[in-house]
Amino acid sequence: MLSYRHSYHAGNHADVLKHIVLTLCINALKEKEKPFLYLDTHSGAGRYLLQSEHAEKTGEFLSGINLIWQQSDTPELLNTYLSVLKRYNPYDNLKYYLGSPLIAKQLLREQDKLNLTELHPTDYPLLRQEFSKDKRAKVLREDGFAQLKSKLPPESRRGIILIDPSYEIKDDYHKIPKALVEAYKRFATGVYLIWYPVVSRTQTQKMIDQIVNSGIKRISQFEFSVKPDNNQKGMTASGMIVINPPWKLQEQMQTIMPWLKNILDTEKTGNYLIKELVPE
């Protein structure tokens, strides 16, 4: 149940897409002075050593963040994302990749709050250590889906909620639409970011259809693939479902996605999708 370790996959093309969307959304909420909550349901360890046994075994970061790290003409819209990574890699040597919690930690302001949960017995202590001196953060070893009930709505009535399970437990595909409906009832104005992998297109699409048919409004989709859908083992694509996307996000991704495809789709077998699934 808890065998998944993100350290094998840190910095891959799916992380790149997820964290670009995350940084753009955080920046959008920071345009107003009023505080907000960042809630992360499946937080992981926080940071990942790219020279570790796990990362080097798969080498997934080599076809992800490593390719972007080598570029000198990155779009200005990626500046926030890359500047956060450079704080942990100050000598241009790509040593660490940051998970969503540490990216948020660097970007959130003094008045903002973080609520982080992780169940894995190895990753939870690492995450707790990363935030041991951060008074803005609560780090809990609890079920992340349960946090959508207990922590919403936030006192500030503003927030970004990242739902990012491993999907190693197939029930996650069924849990997410139900959890979203419950969370939306409590906090309809929150910005919800749902990451998904494409291993089985049928399974992924069924989940997306359930979200689209849930009655929730303002839903966008951003998907990036490096290979066409197939029946072989492994992830060919990943995407982000965004509920209540900041008004500039779609336009920003129209600039970013073609550039990402050009850099990350090295075999020229992939594609990208930018779509409004449900309007206002």
Residues classed as catalytic:
164
Q: Is 120 annotated as a binding residue?
A: no
Q: Is the peptide bond before 279 cis (omega within 30 degrees of 0)?
A: no
Is residue 164 marked as binding?
yes
Q: Which residue has the tokens 């992924």?
A: 204
CA max distance for the chain: 48
- Name the nearest CA neighbour of 40 among 150, 117, 140, 133: 117
The annotation status of 19 as a binding-site residue, yes or no, is yes
d(CA 162, CA 38): 8
- Asked if 124 contacts 118 with a C-beta cutoff of 8 angstroms, the reply is yes
Block residue for tokens 């789709």: 265
- Does residue 153 have a cis bond before it (omega within 30 degrees)? yes
67, 266 contact by CB (below 8 A): yes
Cα separation, 236 vs 252, in Å, equals 24
Give phi and psi for 140, each to the nearest 5. -125, 145
Any known ligand binding at 100?
A: yes
13 annotated to a ligand binding site:
no
Question: What whole-number distance in Å separates Cα of residue 11 and Cα of residue 4?
Answer: 16
Q: How far is residue 193's CA from residue 27's CA, in Å, rounded to a whole number?
A: 14
Binding residues for S-adenosyl-L-methionine, as ranges, are 19, 42, 100, 118, 143-144, 164
Residues placed in the known binding site: 19, 42, 100, 118, 143-144, 164
